[in-house]
Amino acid sequence: MRIVQTRRISQAFFFILFVWFCIVSTVGEEFWQLRDWPVNWFLQLDPLVAIGTILTTHTLYLPLLWALATVVLTIIFGRFFCSWVCPFGSLHHFIGFLGNRKKKTAEKIQLNKYRKAQCIKYFVLIVFLFMAAFPSVAATLQTGLLDPIPLITRSFNLVLLPIVDGSINLVSVSSRFYVGAWLVFGIFLTAVLLNLVIPRFYCRFICPLGALFGIVGRFAIWRIGKNQSECINCKLCEKSCEGGCEPAGNIRISECVLCFNCRQECKDEIISYQTQPSLSGELTNPDISRRGFVLSLAGGVFAVPAVRLSNKLGSNWYHRVIRPPGALEEEQFLKRCVKCGQCMRICPTNVIQPGGIEGGLENLWTPVLNNRIGSSGCQLNCTACGQVCPTSAIRPITLSEKLGLEEFAKAGPIKLGTAFVDRNRCLPWAMDKPCIVCEENCPVSPKAIYTQECFNTIRDGVLTVKKVSGNIIETVEEIVPGRFATGDYYCVIESNELRKISANTENTIMILSDSQFEKKPAPGSKIEIQVRLQRPYIDIEKCIGCGVCEHECPVSGRKAIRVSAEGETRSFDRRLLLKR
Amino acid sequence: MIEQNDKKLDRREFLFRAGKAGVSIAAAGTVSYLLYDSKGPGAGTKEEELVTLPDFSVSHQAGKTMSIVKGPDRTKTVDKAIELLGGIERFVKPGETVAIKPNVAFASPPMLGATARPELVAEVVRLCYTAGKAKKVIVTDNPINDPASCFTLSGVGKAASQAGADVVMPRDNLFRHTTLAGGRLIKNWPIFYEPFKNIDKLIGIAPVKHHHRAGASMAMKNFYGLLGGRRNIFHQDINTIIAELAMMVRPTLVILDGTEVMMTNGPTGGSISDLKRTNTLIASCDCVAADSFGCGLLGLAVSDLPYLAKAEKAGAGTTDYESLKPISTTVS
C-alpha cells in the first residue's frame, strides 16, 4: 500500500474516533454513552494543553502525560500529528482537497507555495505561552482559544452535535442549547471555509499547536528531503504540498506536516523520508524575525495585565459567573481551563454554558452555570463535569464531597453560590398570589427555602354582610363567582376569627362546613377576604446555589429567585457569612 | 446558450419566447393569488389541534374498588392488593398495551422515597406480562429534574426495562395540546400525550409524600407529570389544577405506596429522616378515594386538602372511601 493511502486511513480512523468520543460524552448506561470511553484522549495527546498548564501551574497533571508520547514521536518523526492524527487538520485537508481539486497543476503549485505569513502561528504561540508563563499570580491559560483540539472539541460538542441531534434527539432527550455558540460556529466555519482560499489555511497561518510541533520537530531524525541534489525541477512535488514547505528547493522542515504528497508525486523517486538532510538543502528553524519575536513576547507580557485592568478577579468580579461544582478558586481555575467544552457537553441538565465576556475576556467559553437553560439547575446527585475535565480545572469530586457527607461532613456541601428572592417579582411577595414552586423543588434536606405564612386582605376585599344562614354568608357587594374557591382564601369577621372559604357565588360566600363561626357576623357588619400566602425565605446556611429554584420559578422572564455566586465555597473573598 | 447578435429574431423564436414569458407571468400571478391574504395576521395566538386523553377506567365492581394491604414488602403487598380487586386479569386483557406512570419527578435515589420504588414498578410490569398477558408495557413520566437522570438515579428505568417494559422519555415531539371539558385551567395546554394515545390501560404508581403547597402529593398529584409547558404556573391555584388532573386522567388503577411516607421536606425529601414507616399500600380504581385514605398516613384530614373535595364535586371519585368498603388485609 502506498504511504498516502495509509495516511488517509489513519486520518479517517482518528477523525471517526474523535466524533465517536464526542457522541459518547453523554451520561447514561448504554454502550454508546459515557462508561469508560477515553473521551479526553485527543485533549490529552495535545502537548499545548500540557505545556500550557505546566507553565501556569508548574505541574503536569497525570492524564496529560499522553502529550509526552506526542512530543517524543514528533522529535523522532516530525509533525506527524498534523497529517496523521489531528481531526481538525484532517478536516482542513479534506475540505482543501475538495475545494481545489479542479485547479490546474500550475495553479496548485502556486497555491501551495510557502508564504511569509506562515510565521504568524509562531507569534500566536509565543503570545499565548508568555501569557501562561507570566509571573505566578497573573498567569492565564488562553491557548484553548486557538489550540485546534479544544477548538474542534468545542465546535463539535457545542455546535455541530446540538444542530444535528436537535432535530432527531437521538443522543439527548431534548434539544441542547449553548449561549453564544454562534461565535464558536462562526470561527469554526471561517477556519473551514478558508481552505477554499488556501488549503490548510488554519494549519499554515494560525495553528499554535502546529507552531509548537514546528519548533519541537525541527530536529526530527527522519524527515522529508531529496536524496540527490539534481532533479528535472518539475515542481510536481509542490503541487499538493499540505504544509507549504517547498520540498523542491530548500525544504522548510518546521512547516512540513508529513503528508507525503511530494513523495507520491515525484515520478523519479528523488523525494524520500530519510535521516539525511535534503541534498538540495533544508531550513530547520521557523522563519521568525527578531522583531516579530520581540513584539509577540511584549504582546504576551502586556496582554495579561491589560486584560486584568477590568479588575474582574478583584472587587469588580461578575456575580453571574457561577462555576460548576468542584471548580478551583478563580485564579487557579483560569490557569487550567482550556475552554474545550467537555463539561458543557457532559452536563446531563445542559445548565453548564460557555461563558461570555461580561465576566472578563478570560471568561470567554469557560464553563458558567445558566439556570434559565436546560432541564433543571445543577442536579444534586451529579458530579459528571469534574469527571471529564481534562485539566482538573473542575476537580473530579465525589458525591460525598459535593454533598458534604462522611469525611466531608465538617466541611459541609459545596456551595456554587446563593439564591436570592427578588421580592419585587416573586408572586407571593409582590402580587399576593400563592406559589412557592421554589420551595417545593429545593433539593436540600432540610430545605434551604422555607416559608412564612401570612394572611393579606385582597384588593376590594372588605365586604358587607347582608345575611348569614348556616355556613353561607350573603354579601351586599357582587363577587366574581368561584374566585375564592381555590382553597387559598379565608374570611375574617370583626372578632378576628379566620375561616376557610370553600366556594362562592356572585353574592354568597360558603365557609368550610367544619370551621363555622363561633358567633355569626351580624347583618351590616364588615367581613374581610384574605388570601393565605406562604412567602419564601432563603436559609443562607443551607443554600448550595444549585439553581433548581431559579430554573423552576414560574416568573419566566427575569426570574423572581436567582442564584448569584456570592458565598461560593471555592472563594474566600466572595463569602457572604462570617463563618465558613 | 449564447445568442448571436447579428441573428434576426424569427417568428418561431419570438412566439416561443413570448410563450415562456407568458407562463412565467401566469405562474407568478397564480402564486400571488393563492397566497393572497387580505386581513393580515390577527392578534390571537396560534390555534393548536386539540387532543383528548382516552378514558382508561374499567367497569365498576361492587366492593372491589379499593384495597388496603399492610406489610413491609412492597412486592408482596402490591400482589395482594391487586389480587383483592380481582387480580390483574380484571384490568389487563390479553394482548393489551399498558402504560405505567410512576412518579419519577426527581433525580434522587430510591432510598430517599421521593420517587416510586423500582421494585414496585417492576412487579406491576411483571404482573401485566404474566397474569395480564399484556402485549406491551410502557413506563413513562415527564419529570421535574432532567428526565434521563431521573429514570437512571431513581432506579425505575433499569427496573422497568429489566422487567421487559419500554421506558419512554418525554421527548419534545410527544406533547400535544388539550382542553379539558368543564375545566378552568387546562385550556389549550400541552400534555404528554403521544405515549398514551394508543394504549389500552393506564396504571399510576405514586408514593405518599408531604407537599408544602398542596398539602400532600399522592396518586392524583402524580398525574401532574402529564402536564407539559410551563406547568409551574398552576401552583397559583394548586387545588384546582389537581382536581382538573383527576378529571382529565381516568386511570385503570392507581397504586398508592405508603410503605414509607415522606412526612417532611416534601416533595423532594433528601434525607432518610424525612421518611416514616407506615407499611401500607393501597390499590384503587378511584384516585380520589385512594388519596382520601392516603392523607391519613400523613396525619392530614380530607378537609386539609381542598383538591379532594373539588375532585369529588367534579365527579372524579369519592372522598368517602369507607363507602367503597375497601378490602383490608395484612401480609408479612
The lowest-confidence range among A377-391, A505-519, B60-74, B176-190 is: A505-519
Cα(A238)–Cα(B159) distance, rounded to whole angstroms? 63
Of A436, A447, A553, the CB nearest to B213: A436
d(CA B141, CA B318): 26
Query: Is the Cβ of B162 closer than 8 Å to some Cβ of chain A?
Result: no
CB B180 within 8 A of CB B311: no
User: Any idea what DSSP says for residue A420?
Assistant: E
Place of cell 372522598: B319
SS3 sequence, A472-492?
EEEECCCCCCCCCCCCCEEEE
Comparing alpha-carbon positions, the chain A residue that sits nearest to B270 is A445
C-alpha A472: how far from chain center: 61
Please list the alpha-helical segments (H only) found in A383-422: 384-388, 399-403
Give B12→chain A minimum CA distance, Å.
Answer: 40
**CA-wise closest residue to B241 among B294, B175, B306:** B306
Is the model's pLDDT at A174 over the cut of 90?
no
Among candidate residues A151, A152, A102, the one with its CA nearest the CA of residue A128: A151
Residue with cell 467537555: A342
**Closest Cβ–Cβ partner in A379, A446, A451 for B265:** A446
Are the C-beta atoms of residues A329 and A336 closer than 8 Å to each other? no
Cα gap B249→B226, rounded to integer Å = 9
Single-letter amino acid, residue A373: I
Measure the CA–CA gap between A370 and A352, rounded to whole angstroms.
6
In this complex, which of A382, A433, A488 lies closest to B149 when CB atoms are compared?
A382
State mean pLDDT over B24-48: 87
Instruction: Decide if A443 contacts B268 (C-beta within 8 A).
Output: yes
Retrieve residue A147's grid coordinates: 489550540
What's at B119, amino acid-wise? E
Q: Tell whether the model's pLDDT for residue A26 goes beyond 60.
A: yes
Q: Which residue in the block uniquely carries the three cell numbers 486520518?
A: A11
pLDDT value of position A29: 78
- % of chain B with per-residue pLDDT over 70: 98
List, in sequence order, every residue forming a beta bridge with B175; answer none if it has no partner: B192
What percentage of chain B reaches a pLDDT higher than 90? 89
**Residue B147 at interface with chain A, using a CB cutoff of 8 Å:** yes
Chain A residues in contact with B108 (beta carbon < 8 A): 380-381, 443
B74 and A CB contact within 8 Å? no
Are B212 and A440 in contact (CB < 8 Å)? yes
Q: In this predicted structure, which of A512-516, A564-568, B221-225, B291-295 has the lowest mean pLDDT? A: A512-516
Q: pLDDT tens across A350-367, in order?
A: 999 999 998 999 999 999
Nearest beta carbon to residue A381 from set B153, B169, B170? B153
At B192-234, the pLDDT tens digits run 999 999 999 999 999 999 999 999 999 999 999 999 999 999 9
pLDDT at B19 over 60: yes
CB pairs under 8 A between A and B: 125
d(CA A562, CA A564) in angstroms, rounded, equals 6
Beta strands at B136-140 and B175-178: parallel, antiparallel or unpaired: unpaired
- Does the CA dihedral A32-A35-A40-A41 come out positive or negative? negative
Q: Look-up: residue for cell 405506596?
A: B257
**pLDDT bracket for residue A22 (50, 70, 90):** very high
Judged by CB atoms closer than 8 Å, whether chains meet at B239 and A486 is answered as yes
Distance, C-alpha A512 to centroid of its chain: 54
Helix, strand or coil for residue A537? strand
Helix residue ranges per DSSP H, A380-451: 384-388, 399-403, 427-430, 437-441
At A198-222, the pLDDT tens digits run 999 999 999 999 999 999 998 899 9
The answer to whether the CB of A216 falls within 8 A of the CB of A268 is no
Confidence of residue B3 (pLDDT cuts 50, 70, 90): low
pLDDT tops 60 at residue A479: yes
Nearest neighbour of B148 by CB, restricted to A27, A441, A552: A27
The Cα of B21 is separated from the nearest Cα of chain A by a number of Å equal to 37
Selection from A549, A556, A376 nearest residue B145 by Cα: A376
Chain A residues with CB-CB distance to B269 below 8 A: 445
Average pLDDT of the residues in B48-77:
93
Best probe of the B interface among A27, A400, A403, A437, by most B CBs < 10 A, is A437
**Which among A174, A433, A440 is the top mutation candidate for probing chain B, defined by the most B β-carbons within 10 Å of its own β-carbon?**
A440
Rounded to an integer, what distance in angstroms lies between the CA atom of residue A251 and that of residue B5?
Answer: 55
Are A332 and A56 in contact by the 8 Å Cβ rule? The answer is no
Q: What is the pLDDT of residue B204?
A: 97
Each residue of A129-169: pLDDT tens digit?
Answer: 999 997 766 789 999 999 999 999 999 999 999 999 888 87
d(CA A126, CA A133): 10
| Residue B56: per-residue pLDDT | 96
Chain B residues within an 8 Å CB radius of A169? 171-173
Question: Quick check: B195 contacting A, CB < 8 Å?
Answer: no
**Rounded CA gap, A257 and A248, in Å?**
15
Pick the residue from chain B with its C-alpha nearest to A173.
B171
Interface of B with A in 236-295 (CB under 8 A): 236-240, 264-265, 267-271, 273-274
* Segment A321-334, tens digit of pLDDT: 999 999 999 999 99
Residue B231, by phi and psi: left (phi above 0), alpha (psi -120 to 50) or beta? alpha
Cell match 366574581: residue?
A: A480
Rounded mean pLDDT, A461-476? 92
Residue A63: asked if its preceding bond is cis (omega within 30°), the reply is: no
Q: Which residue out of B235, B263, B274 would a mutagenesis test of the A interface target, given it has the greatest number of A Cβ atoms within 10 Å? A: B235
- The H or E element spanning position B30 is helix B11-35
pTM for the full model? 0.92
pLDDT at residue A122 in the model:
96
ipTM: 0.89
Residue among B152, B240, B268 whose CB faces A441 most closely: B268
Mean pLDDT of chain A: 93
- What are the CB-based long-range contacts (under 8 Å, 24+) for A13-21? A14/A84, A14/A85, A14/A86, A14/A87, A14/A90, A15/A87, A15/A90, A15/A91, A18/A42, A18/A87, A18/A152, A18/A156, A19/A87, A19/A156
Residue B276 belongs to what H/E stretch?
A: strand B275-284
HEC per residue, B99-149? EEEECCCCCCCHHHCCCCCHHHHHHHHHHHHHCCCCCEEEEECCCCCCHHH
- Assess contact for A173 and B142: CB atoms under 8 A: no
State the virtual CA torsion across A209, A211, A214, A215 in degrees, nearest 10. Answer: -100
Query: Distance (Å) from the C-alpha of residue B145 to the closest C-alpha of chain A?
Result: 5
